[in-house]
Structure 1
Amino acid sequence: MKPQFIEVALAGTKTIQIKQIDQYHLDSPFHFHQLCELVWIEKSYGKRIVGDNVGNFEAGDLVLMGPNLPHIWQNDRAFAEEADNRVKSTVIYFPPDFLLNLTDEQNMIQPITELIQRSQRGILFFGRTKQQVAALLSLISGEKSIKKIIFFLELVHILSSSSEYEYLASMSYKSNYDEKDTGRINKVYQFLIQNFHRDISLNEIADICHMTPNAFCRYFKSRTRKSFTQFLNELRIGHAAKLLQNEQNSITDVCYACGYNNLSYFNKIFRGIHDIAPSEYRKNLLRITRTQ
């Protein structure tokens, strides 16, 4: 697969496009395009990179990404290995000016304009907002009449007026990628997502880009604004946070499952990213779960 700037608009650049995904695994490369993209994950889990945000995704996630925001969604190896597992997702693509061209009334345009601006960082919605939009997405996929547009406008209204969201990419994030960059970075990201659980040498990862280790380190940081070590730690600790949700996973087991060979070092890196130790992180998770 040759990663690239992806033209998803095709002939529908003036309206919305709905894509139903029902397959064994997500296979989209690291890419960007000129459309807004709303993703609802009905069934699947894995790793998600949006801009400079490195994290997990799971069933029920609802994310809006703005134009030219680089991203990749890849299943965890465990998902692919589970028998009869299939990815089920709904994706809506739409040009940012589609909504703005519907009216000239400023009081109607303002919330939409702000939503598009906020989506430049990627937005993860939760709570009742997610439930309402998921219900509409379940309806919209089967519609072929004008109701499709009506449902879409309704969900945009819900998203634009919601306060139940969090940003993914950092406030200072700015994409530095071109087509050639996404090809190289895609190879790196896909390799790391599948292999972060084991030792990865700098020579090994640099070879993927046909670079010397020093050249790779400079290149990677110039594009991602993170050192290779920082990025790998964020990927590993993000997975650790997911594993800690299961009480049956001991802290030591989580440490080794995420590619660390030293418990003290794992605790140090985890605290550096989350500001608390893994054991406290788990306690907080359990406290939240029991109060829901």
Structure 2
Amino acid sequence: MEEHDDAHFYDAVHFHEEYQLTHIVDGRGTLVVGQNSYPFRPGDSYLFGRNLPHVFKKEVESRADTKKVRAHHFSIFFSGDALVAFLNQVPESSSIHELLRCADCGLKLNKRQSSKLLSKMKRFQHLDDFDKLLGLLYMLEAISKSTNHTALTTSEFKNLHFDEYGTQKMTEIFNFIESNHSKKISLANIANRFNMNPSSFCRFFKSRTQKTFSQFLIEIRVARACELIREGAHNATETCFESGFTNLSNFHRQFKNVIGMTPTQYKNSVSTFLA
């Protein structure tokens, strides 16, 4: 169990073998998960599966009280293998098995479950180990019985398993892309940075993401463009170049390929959130 209450969320893309159940108490911004991005607000809850890249990026605000806005969340991390081994002895646990399967894509929990989760997580941190197991099962069962949770990524990220070397290397690669996506990143340069030749890097990257490097980079840049559009302070040209694209026509084409609508249509679709 982890409670984080500070000025910032952990702001590096990361992934781990444990499942992660998180409730946002305070703070808002952008959740990047896999190749997608979504706005998050206080009261939102998420369940992340194993080895699913994600990061919460707090919104930077210009108000005078910016320093008073906290990044406050509760998270529970648990081993999927240990839990599944226990659940295999309980025939009535099929709904939790299905929930964990779906969590490999990442889930945003529906509002009804989110509103109930905070009090349970606050109590959780004061329990002994056995009661924590029971408490976790009660939470997962309640979530699994509820409907209308939102999948955050496609099935392409499911069942991607990493050895220790692959986990560390992919974390470094994800963080490098996240920090430098607005700059020119050639395949030769990134392969050399991680001590591989381009062919080896391509095989390594695709075996662990089910995507080519160029496809993944485009999707990260589009995710950043979505974030800028939601902020509402950038025109199309600024959004294009700040997200890493080098010309407007290519930006519009790639944005529509990934999101399924033009940047203008996307801005209109999130106008309620921006208001």
Q: Which structure 2 residue ranges, 5 or more long, are not aligned?
A: 61-65
2:19 match = 36
1:273 match = 258
Aligned partners of 1:78 and 1:248: how far apart in 2? 13
State the secondary structure of the residue aligned to 2:196. coil
2:40 is aligned, of 58, 83, 92, to: 58
2:177 match = 192
Q: Which structure 1 residue ranges, 5 or more long, are not aligned?
A: 1-17
Higher mean alpha-carbon deviation, 39-48 vs 122-131, is at 39-48
Which amino acid in the other structure matches residue 193 of structure 2?
Answer: I
1:263 is aligned, of 248, 254, 258, to: 248
CA contact (8 A) 1:127 1:164 kept: no
User: 1:142-291 residue pairs with structure 2 within 5 A?
Assistant: 143-144=126-127, 152-172=136-156, 173-286=158-271
Q: What number of residue pairs does the alignment pair up?
A: 266
TM, length-normalised to structure 2: 0.79
Shift of 1:25: 4.5
Q: Which has the higher helix share?
A: 2
Aligned partners of 1:98 and 1:212: how far apart in 2? 40
CA contact (8 A) 2:20 2:47 kept: yes
CA contact (8 A) 1:65 1:123 kept: yes
Cα deviation digits, residues 209-267 of structure 1 (max 9, x gap): 11223332232223211111111111111121122123332222211221112111110
Which amino acid in the other structure matches residue 51 of structure 2?
Answer: P
1:130 is aligned, of 114, 118, 125, to: 114
State the secondary structure of the residue aligned to 1:219. helix
Cα deviation digits, residues 38-80 of structure 1 (max 9, x gap): 1223336455344xx44356344422133xx21344454976x
Shift of 1:190: 0.5
CA contact (8 A) 1:28 1:72 kept: no
2:2 match = 19
Percent identity of equivalent pairs: 23
2:63 match = none
Aligned partners of 1:181 and 1:246: how far apart in 2? 35
1:105 to 1:196, Cα distance in 2 relative to 1, 3 A = closer
Aligned partners of 2:205 and 2:84: how far apart in 1? 36
1:100 to 1:180, Cα distance in 2 relative to 1, 3 A = closer
Cα deviation digits, residues 173-227 of structure 1 (max 9, x gap): 3314221112221111101111212222323312221122333223222321111
Aligned partners of 2:232 and 2:197: how far apart in 1? 42
1:71 match = 52
CA contact (8 A) 1:44 1:88 kept: no
CA contact (8 A) 1:48 1:74 kept: yes
Aligned partners of 1:287 and 1:47: how far apart in 2? 18
1:208 to 1:88, Cα distance in 2 relative to 1, 3 A = farther
User: Root-mean-square deviation (CA), in Å?
Assistant: 3.4
State the secondary structure of the residue aligned to 1:177. coil
Shift of 1:85: 6.8
Which amino acid in the other structure matches residue 40 of structure 2?
Answer: E
1:30 to 1:102, Cα distance in 2 relative to 1, 3 A = closer
CA contact (8 A) 2:48 2:106 kept: yes
Which amino acid in the other structure matches residue 75 of structure 2?
Answer: V
Aligned partners of 1:77 and 1:198: how far apart in 2? 22
TM, length-normalised to structure 1: 0.75
Aligned partners of 1:289 and 1:56: how far apart in 2? 13
